Amino acid sequence: MCVGTGVQKLAFPIFLILLLASIALAWAPALLWPHKPLLVRDILAVVGVVAFVSLFAMFAIWWERKVAARIQSRLGPMRVGGWHGWAQSLADGLKLFQKEDIFLAGADRPLYRLAAYIAFVPALCLFLALPFSAAWIARDLDVGLLFILALLGLGVLGVLLAGWASNNKWSMYGAMREACQMISYEIPLGFALLVPILTAGTLRLTAIGDLQSAGLPSWLAFRNPFLLVAAVLFFLATLASCKRAPFDLPEAESELVAGYHTEYSGFRWALFFFAEYAEMFAAGALAAILFFGAWHSPLPAEWGRAWRSGPLWQQALHGVVFSGPLWLIGKGLFFVYVQMWLRWTLPRIRLDQVMYACVQVMLPLAMLNLLAHAVWQWLVPADSLLARIANGVCTAIGAVTIVAILATIAYGLFHRRRLVGTLVVDHLPGA
Amino acid sequence: MTDINPPITGEAIPQPSAAPGTLHTEELLVNMGPQHPSTHGVLRLLLRTDGELVVEATPHIGYLHRCAEKIGENVTPVQFVPMTDRLDYLAAMNNNHGYSLAVEKLCGIEVPERARYIRVIMCELNRIASHLVSFGSYGLDMGAFTPFLYAFREREYILDLFEATCGARLTYNYLTIGGAAADLPEGFLQRLAGFLDYFEPKIDEYNRLLSYNYIFVKRTAGVGVISAADAIAYGLTGPCLRGSGVRWDLRRCVPYEIYDRFEFDIPIGVPGGTDDIPPEVVVGDSWSRYFVRMLEMKQSVRILRQCLRQIPDGEYRAKVPRVLKLPAGEVYLEVEGARGQLGFLVVGDNGPIPRRVKVRGPSFCNLSIIPHVCRQVLLADVAAILGSIDVVMGEVDR
């Protein structure tokens, strides 16, 4: 088994640094050289976004394989690149890149091509409006949230086209299911999103993030129980939107081979795959920004105010401890991890059950939640005792849940050998 | 009924005419298989679907036909035993056992005690291994990827035991005419006891992980209900029959070998609400058939523990002449394989080579209920039903 020696062990940290560097490349110019022409800055932003998404997708694919493997009592990629197969996705990407571009007989060529692009490009573009910190954003749009939602929804078109253009009945089934599911779940998603928008009073993501700088109790999810419910609803709706298990009917392997992307191979398939992982991170980052403190740590940013205007190393430390892009990436990764966790644990829900859950359970719940929150916001002043009690209770629930989840993960990490329950079977004589 | 096998010229399938006032939709003819991740082998299901609703399902078999019965007319019984391995290749020991019993009955061979216990041990271990595959792949069909890996992890321990005994992991050629081909290796029984201690709590764990999982129950409970009358009429046997509430198991009802010396229960499907059974469960649905297999694994563990206590020393094989002469006459004998009643007909004609060998594959009969039960169900339910019937194409096609 390759364990990784010396330089190879540094591979993974180098990869993380590259990830951060790509973000910095996108957004630092705006910070450091405000007088540069806009075109240069925009080109750098686009390059940075593409680099970030590609790097993240590669990392996420490797991570998913590792997480899946560990849950399934095996190891995952171990060889490619040395240390835990970190270069596996790189190798896979190169392999896919050099594969023959196959077109089916009877496939609708322009649409077949277009479908992959339409699925991929919106997933990239929405990172333009996604803030990694108050100043780390390519374009701070007034309607940033709406922009991101619109682009997430545009992915449905790519899926539908893929299913149709493949000239394959199974792909059609996958595409139909997908359209049904994604579009239906946009509605509870919207209702769940309206709740923090009501609280913040704006669609601008940086403004919503700035509201949550006063530590754990100020995180929007913990301000009142309706926001907590909205956070959970949002997470579930994005699960359905991203076609992740348990809502992965469109790519149900056992029934539809691979659903809408059955007939795609090589790099076109990689585009779908990249789009899915990009959307996963976007959904996680959005959940973090809207509900779970954006780029702020659980500690109030006030406590580190002195460091913000000190020397560079102190500013960096402030970013790491109190408020910075690492927190957003970390939270995004945590939600991505929860999505992966759910995928490898739960079975798949049938389509009619998916629709039932959406229309008859989530939608009324989301509507009532919005109504209740609106009434709460109207009647209960922000600094009253009731509001403070609600805030305290929700914060306590949230803190306990977060600590419990992290403790479970840590426990599993440290005791993984024992938990797998291996029964060592020595070969019997004669074997 | 419209012709569901349209000619290859591509004529349009005659569509049902729409009643006035209703929306006319076209029906789609879809092929599920023969290469498909969830048809458990090379099975082709021709589905006539109206959107997601399956109107009619017709299984087409024969993709794994290997002329096993014809081969039986050309080789001696001892040479045919490896062929039986390849029938139900997931529970190969049971096939070997059945064929050997049939030939021994025809020739009047008396099998020593120890050999009988070895046979029961191997059969029950293989039953567990087979049910593990069924459990794992059913979870996989339903979208739960992880139980599959857990099932195969446990299977590795069983296969290691088999490999130590006879050198093979899947097709053993071990339980042959007269007993077993070799004795159990040293340390086998201790290792088996260790495995049983390790494995028994795992069954409860898998029940918690998959069987009682809300999503899994919703996917499988109430789906593909087969009544007891239908099950008997269509010749269903094994967990499919027992899942419909019929308490029939050859090991208890028509005991062969030494099964009458062991205490074990015959699990059957029970209505939802009793014991721990989820309330949505109906007797004869996919969940019942699946759960019967989980309970049968526990009973197999029980039988194995009793075997460990009772197994004597002695010969592992009867003295069988090198050229075994089959007397004229015929024997039909059924054993309880992992998937149902596995029957062997051996017709001898005073020579070393039988005149006719016929195999009654339980999966062949179990599969016959697919057209009856896959009506007006969703596409996802076809996978659920097929997985719960648990066919192995080796048995179906031979």
Nearest-angstrom CA–CA distance, A288 and A149: 15
Query: What total of structural domains would you count in chain B?
Result: 1
Q: Is the pLDDT of residue B125 over 90?
A: yes
The verdict on residue B233 lying in a domain is yes
Question: Which residue type occupies A55?
Answer: L
Nearest-angstrom CA–CA distance, A264 and A258: 9
Q: Which of A211-220, B2-11, B135-144 has the lowest mean pLDDT?
A: B2-11
How many residues are listed for chain A in this entry?
A: 431
To which residue do tokens 């390759």 refer? A2
Domain residue ranges of chain A, discontinuous segments joined by +: 1-98, 105-308+332-413
Q: Is the pLDDT of residue B10 over 50?
A: no
| Cβ–Cβ gap B160/A427 under 8 Å | yes
Is the CB of residue B378 less than 8 Å away from at least one CB of chain A?
yes
Residues of B in contact with A356 (CB under 8 A): none
Q: Is the pLDDT of residue B17 over 70?
A: no
| Cβ–Cβ gap A349/B160 under 8 Å | no
| Cβ–Cβ gap B140/A254 under 8 Å | yes
The verdict on residue B222 lying in a domain is yes
Q: Is the pLDDT of residue B165 over 70?
A: yes
| Cβ–Cβ gap B149/A252 under 8 Å | no
Q: Which of A288-302, B126-140, B192-206 has the lowest mean pLDDT?
A: A288-302
User: Residues 6 or more apart from A270 whose CB is under 8 A from it?
Assistant: A93, A96, A97
Q: Is the distance from CB of A110 to CB of A166 less than 8 angstroms?
A: no
Is the CB of residue B383 less than 8 Å away from at least one CB of chain A?
yes
Is the CB of residue B208 less than 8 Å away from at least one CB of chain A?
no
Question: Rounded mean pLDDT of B127-151?
Answer: 91
Task: Find the domain containing B393 and state its range.
Answer: 68-397
Among the partner residues B28, B52, B186, nearest to A351 by beta-carbon distance: B52
Nearest-angstrom CA–CA distance, B142 and B38: 10
Residues of B in contact with A176 (CB under 8 A): 52
Nearest-angstrom CA–CA distance, B248 and B336: 10
Nearest-angstrom CA–CA distance, B363 and B90: 12
Nearest-angstrom CA–CA distance, B367 and B390: 9
Is the CB of residue A360 less than 8 Å away from at least one CB of chain B?
no
Q: Assign B253 to helix, strand or coil.
A: helix
Among the partner residues A176, A423, A431, nearest to B163 by beta-carbon distance: A431
Cα distances from B1 to residues B4, B8, B13, B261, in angstroms, run 8, 19, 12, 52
Q: From start to end of B278-340, where are the E strands? A: 329-336
pLDDT confidence of residue B11 = 46
CB count in 10 Å sphere of residue B263:
8
Q: Is the pLDDT of residue B75 over 90?
A: yes
How many residues are listed for chain B in this entry?
A: 398
pLDDT confidence of residue B336 = 94
Among the partner residues A347, A353, A431, nearest to B142 by beta-carbon distance: A347
The verdict on residue B36 lying in a domain is no
**Residue of A169, A178, A342, A350 for testing the chain B interface, max B β-carbons within 10 Å:** A350
pLDDT confidence of residue A370 = 95
- What pairing do the DSSP bridges indicate for beta strands B329-336 and B341-348? antiparallel
Is the CB of residue B212 less than 8 Å away from at least one CB of chain A?
no
The verdict on residue B54 lying in a domain is no
Q: Give Cα B73 to chain centroid, integer Å.
A: 25
Question: Rounded mean pLDDT of B25-36?
Answer: 77
Q: So what's the ipTM on this one?
A: 0.83
pLDDT confidence of residue A11 = 63
pLDDT confidence of residue A3 = 42
Q: Is the pLDDT of residue B106 over 50?
A: yes
Residues of A in contact with B218 (CB under 8 A): 349-350, 353
The verdict on residue B80 lying in a domain is yes
Is the CB of residue B190 less than 8 Å away from at least one CB of chain A?
no
Is the CB of residue A421 less than 8 Å away from at least one CB of chain B?
yes
For A101, the token pair is 């571009």
Count Cβ–Cβ pairs < 8 Å, chain A vs chain B: 111
Q: Chain B closest CA to A250's CA: distance in Å?
A: 11
CATH code, B352:
1.10.645.10
Q: Chain A closest CA to B345's CA: distance in Å?
A: 35
- Say which DSSP state A85 is in: G
- For each of chain A's 431 residues, which pLDDT tens digit applies? 334 455 556 666 776 777 777 666 656 655 666 656 677 777 877 888 888 888 898 899 999 999 898 888 888 888 888 778 888 888 888 888 888 877 777 777 888 888 888 989 999 898 988 988 887 787 788 899 999 999 988 888 888 888 888 877 777 777 887 788 888 899 999 999 999 999 999 999 999 998 888 888 889 999 889 999 999 999 999 988 887 777 877 666 555 566 677 777 778 888 888 888 999 999 999 999 999 988 888 888 777 777 777 777 777 777 777 777 888 888 999 999 999 989 898 888 888 888 898 999 999 999 999 999 999 999 988 788 888 899 999 999 999 999 998 898 888 778 766 655 555 445 444 44
Average pLDDT across chain B, whole number: 89
Q: Chain B closest CA to A307's CA: distance in Å?
A: 47
User: Residues 6 or more apart from B168 whose CB is under 8 A from it?
Assistant: B162, B174
| Cβ–Cβ gap B139/A253 under 8 Å | no
pLDDT confidence of residue B1 = 45
Angle between helices A266-291 and A38-71 (to 10 degrees): 100
Q: Is the pLDDT of residue B285 over 70?
A: yes
Q: Which of A95-99, B311-315, B332-336 has the lowest mean pLDDT?
A: A95-99
Burial of A430 (0-12, 13-18, 19+ CB in 10 A): middle
Chain B 43-62, residues with CB within 8 Å of chain A CB atoms: 52
| Cβ–Cβ gap A252/B145 under 8 Å | no
Is the CB of residue A423 less than 8 Å away from at least one CB of chain B?
yes
Q: Chain B closest CA to A374's CA: distance in Å?
A: 33
One DSSP character per residue, A212-228 reads T-B-GGGSGGGTSHHHH
Q: What's the pTM value of the predicted model, to 2 decimals?
A: 0.87
Among the partner residues A72, A252, A350, nearest to B146 by beta-carbon distance: A72
Among the partner residues A252, A421, A423, nearest to B143 by beta-carbon distance: A252
The verdict on residue B5 lying in a domain is no
